[in-house]
Amino acid sequence: MAAPGFLVGIDVGGTFTDVVAYAGDGRALALAKVPSLPGEQWRGVLEALSALGIAPTAIRAFVHGTTIATNALLERKGARTALVTTAGFRDVLEIGKCRRLAGGLFDAAWQRPPPIAPRDRRLEVAERTAADGTVLEVLDPAALASLAETLSARGAEAIAVAFVNSYVNAGNELAAAAALREALPGIPVSTSAALAPERGEFERTSTCVLNAYLTPVMTAYLTRLADALAERGVVAPVDIMGSNGGAMTLDAAAERCAGTFLSGPVGGVVGALRVAGDAGVRDLVTFDMGGTSTDVALIHDGRPRMSHDNQIDAYPLQMPQLDIHTIGAGGGSIVWVQPDGTLGVGPRSAGAVPGPACYGRGGTEPTVSDANLLLGRLPTARALSGGLVLQRERAERAFATLGRNLGVTDVVALADAAVRIAVAKMAGAVREVSVHRGFDPRDFALVGFGGAGPMHAFLVAAELGMSRVLVPPHPGHVSALGQMLADMRRDLVEVWGGRLSQLDLGDLRARADRLRARGGDLLRADGIAPERHRFAFSVDARYAGQSFTLPIAWEPTDVDWTPLRRAFDARHEETFGYADATNDLEIVNLRLVATGLVDQPVLDLAPHGAGDPRIERRAVWLDGWREVDVLDREKLGIGTALDGPLIVEEAGGTTVVPPGWTVEVHASGALLCASG
C-alpha cells in the first residue's frame, strides 16, 4: 500500500446501502449494510460510514456507486431542459429513427415516450458546418443574445447545444455554449461534441439532452455529499463509479452525468471479475440480484463487454458503458395480478421503504422475499444483516390476500409460482447478454451475488442448462467491493477511417499519438502520476457495406493492417458465424481507453473454517418439502466438499443449493458449485 488509511467502496442500492473498507494491514474487510434513504442517498452514505466505526480522517480513498442519474430519468425528476440546435433540425430529437421500442411492437395503443426537451424548449439558430468540417455559416452574436432571453423566459434550468456535424468541427457549438453561459450564469450548458464526438445526429443530440437534463440533479447531490463528508472530517478525494467500468472524479462526474447511469451495477461487474479471477474463472455471467432489480453481464476471457450505442429507457445514449442488462426483478419486486388474471412479478418494487411485508415496516403487498420466506429459504429465528428479523405471519397475510384475488388458497404454491416467474424473467436477461450476443451460456459460470443472487442463481442456471455456479465471499457486498477496486478511466474517440485498402497506417498512428497525449493530460488532471497511466486502442470496424461495427483491439506498433484484418475476421465469425475474406474492411472510429492505476489490495477472503458449521436443520421447499442442513459459511474451511440440498448463510446473503449440485470451498473463499 502506498499510504496508510482505509480504501472505501460504497454502493447505494434501491433497498440497502453497502460499504466495504480495507486497511491494507492484513486485517479482513470491514463490512456494513444499512437501509437506503430514497431522496437522501448522501445521508445513507454517511450512515454506512458511521456503521463501520472508522475515523473519517483514516479514509484515504473513497469510491461511490450511485443511482441518482438512473432514478432521476426513470422518475422524470430532472431539470427543465432546453435544446439549441441547427436551423431545420429542431425535431430530430422527436423523429428519431421512426421505429418502435421493443415493448410497443405488438401494442396498437403504444405511444412513444415524450422527448425530454419539449418542442417549445427546442430552439433553432442559424449556423452550419459541412461534413468535412468547413464552417458554412458563422453564428450571429445578436441571434444568440435573443436566444438567451427566450430560454430564460421559458424557464430553462439546463441547456443542451447540439449542432449538425459538430463532431468534425465544434467551433460553432463551443461559441454558442460560451455565449449562453455568459448570458445565463448559473444554468449548466452541455455540448454534444464534448460528450459524444461521433456520427449519428439523433444519438448525439439525445446524449447531450440527457446529460443536460441530469446535470442540476447530479451536481446538487455531489455538492451535498462532498460538503457532508467534509463536515465529518473526510479529507480523501471522493470519486464516482462510471458506467465504463472505471472511477471518475466529482468534477468529471458533474460534467458527464450521463456517464454514471450504471454506476452501481458496474461495481458489481468489477467486483465479480476480481473474485472470479482469484478462483480461476475467466468466462462468466454476472448475476447481481438486489432488492429492486437484477443486473447481468457477460465476461469472456476475463474481459467484460463494452457497449457504445445504448438505450436508457426510451432515449439513446452514445457513451461507453459496460454491456449490462437490467430487469425489474429483485427481492423487493411486488407479486401482483395482471389485467388478464395471471400472476406478475415486478417491475414495481417495495424498495427500502416500506420494503417487503415480512420486514414489518409497513409493507402489505407480497414480494419475492416474502415468497422465499414462505418456502423456508430464509430464517425467522435469526436476524439478517442490519439486525432485521423477518416475520413469516406478515408474508402469509400478504400472499393470502393475493390468493383471494386469484381464487388460490395454498400460499406455498403461490409463493413457488412467484419465484418461478421471477426466475424465468432473470433467465431471459441472461439470454439477452449471452445468446443474443452470439454466446452459449452453457460455456460460462454463473456468478451469483447481491443480497438475493445466491438464493436464485442455481434456479436460473438450471433454466439455462448452465452447470457451474460461483458464489463469491460476502456476496451482498460485491458491488461495494468493485467500487473500492476501480481504477480511474477516461474514454476518448475520434471519427476517422474509410476502406482499409485506401487508408494510411501512418495517419492512424499520428491520430493515436494525439489521443494518447489528451488521455494523459486528463489522467494527470485526475491526480494520477504518469507512471500509472495505461493506454489501450481499438477501432470500430465493419465489412464494406455493413451498417454496424465491431470493436477490434489495435496496437500502434503494428507494421501493417494484417493483425487488424485477422482479428476482425475472427471476431465476426465468432459473433455472426461467418467471415468474408473477400470483402474490404472499413474503419469508422478510433478509440482510446486511458486508465489510471490505483493501489490494488491483496485480498484474503478465505473463511476461517473453525467449529461446527451447522446452524440448524430446517424444512425447505425445493422439489417438495425437504429437511435441509443450514450451514454457517464462515465455518466452512478451504477444501470442504458438500452435496445439495443445503443452505449456506452469511451476513448479507443466503445460498440455496438444490439437489444434484456439489459445493467446494475454494482457497479464494468462493463457493465453486457444479451440477451432476
Q: What is the pLDDT of residue 102?
A: 56
Confidence of residue 434 (pLDDT cuts 50, 70, 90): very high
Task: DSSP for 151-169, please give it.
Answer: HHHTT-SEEEEE-TTTTT-
Alpha-carbon distances of 87 from 53, 83, 501, rounded to whole Å: 58, 12, 38
Checking if the pLDDT of 608 tops 90, the result is no
Residues 277-333: pLDDT tens digits? 999 999 999 999 988 889 999 999 999 999 888 888 778 999 999 999 988 888 999
* Distance from the Cα of residue 275 to its chain's centroid: 18
> Coil, helix or strand for 359?
helix
Distance CA 319, CA 9 (A): 24
Question: What are the beta bridge partners of residue 445?
Answer: 284
Which residue did the predictor score with more confidence, 469 or 11? Answer: 469
Nearest to 351 by CA among 593, 14, 9: 14
What cell was used for 64? Answer: 461511490
Per DSSP, what are the bridge partners of residue 286? 297, 447
**Phi and psi angles of residue 312, each rounded to the nearest 5 degrees, phi first:** -110, 110
Q: Structure pTM?
A: 0.90
pLDDT at 386: 61
Residue-wise pLDDT tens digits, 354-386: 889 999 989 999 999 999 999 999 998 777 766
271 alpha-carbon distance from chain centroid: 12
Extract the C-alpha cell encoding 656.
440455496
| Cell (9 digits) for 247 | 472511477
- Cα 388 to chain centroid distance, Å, stands at 27
Question: In this structure, which amino acid lies at residue 566?
Answer: R
What pLDDT was estimated at residue 54? Answer: 81
pLDDT digits (tens, 9 = 90+) for 21-60: 988 665 668 888 887 777 777 787 888 888 888 888 888 8
Domains of the chain, each with CATH number or no CATH: 6-72+219-260 (3.30.420.40), 78-209 (3.40.50), 282-467 (3.30.420), 488-596 (3.30.1490), 614-671 (no CATH)
pLDDT over 70 (residue 349): yes
pLDDT (tens digit per residue) in 262-286: 888 999 999 999 999 999 999 999 9
Query: Residue 68: which of 291, 221, 189 has the closest Cα?
Result: 221
Tell me, what's the pLDDT at 3?
Answer: 46
Residues in the chain: 676
Share of the chain above pLDDT 70, in %: 96
Answer yes or no: is pLDDT of 101 > 70: no
- CA distances, 306 to each of 236, 342, 392 (Å): 30, 37, 43
Q: Assess contact for 113 and 313: CB atoms under 8 A.
A: yes
**Residue 455 pLDDT exceeds 70:** yes
Give the H/E segment covering residue 369. Answer: helix 368-374
pLDDT mean across residues, the chain? 91
Pairing of strands 238-241, 310-312: unpaired
pLDDT confidence bin for 2, thresholds 50/70/90: very low
pLDDT grade, residue 1 (50/70/90)?
Answer: very low
CA distance 163 to 169: 10
pLDDT digit string, tens, across residues 213-249:
999 999 998 888 888 888 888 888 889 999 999 999 9
Q: How far apart are CA 658 and CA 167, in angstroms?
A: 54
**pLDDT of res. 456:** 97
Among 166-170, 265-269, 378-382, 530-534, name the one with the lowest average pLDDT: 378-382
Cell numbers standing for residue 298? 457477460
Q: Is the peptide bond prior to 530 cis by the omega test (within 30 degrees of 0)?
A: no
Whether the CB-CB separation of 149 and 117 falls below 8 Å is answered with no
DSSP assignment of 187-246 equals: S-EEEHHHH--SS-HHHHHHHHHHHHHHHHHHHHHHHHHHHHHHHHT--SPEEEE-TTSS
Quick one: pLDDT at residue 626? 95
CA distance 244 to 305: 10
